[in-house]
Amino acid sequence: MPIYEYRCRGCKRDFEVLQKITDEPLAKCPECGKQVKRLISQTSFALKGGGWYKDGYSSTKANKATTESPASPKKKDKKAEKTPAKKNEK
């Protein structure tokens, strides 16, 4: 269950409440009974590194593979292959 942070508009007290996602937000401060506001707080995890992998760790091989673009290989110029180069014959 997530922990939500609230701030009382009356006594300016910040507090945390363990609630289900489906629970209604609190409306009153448990100390003074005034209206409260749910705060947006920083998450407890951070996404870092080269990406998500099935083993949970990134590898240098996978990082190199993602920097190269295998999905868009370089195309050869077909015109250049078909027409022979002209030579200056004098």
- Angle value at C-alpha 74, between 68 and 77, nearest 5 degrees: 165
pLDDT digits (tens, 9 = 90+) for 35-56: 999 998 877 777 776 666 666 6
Q: Is 8 exposed, middle or buried (0-12, 13-18, 19+ CB in 10 A)?
A: buried
Amino acid present at 9: R
Q: Which residue has the higher pLDDT, 73 or 43?
A: 43
pLDDT at site 38: 93
pTM score over 0.85:
no
Q: What is the DSSP letter of 79?
A: H
pLDDT at site 43: 73
Quote the CA–CA distance of 30 and 21 in Å, as a whole number.
Answer: 20
Domain boundaries, the chain: 3-39
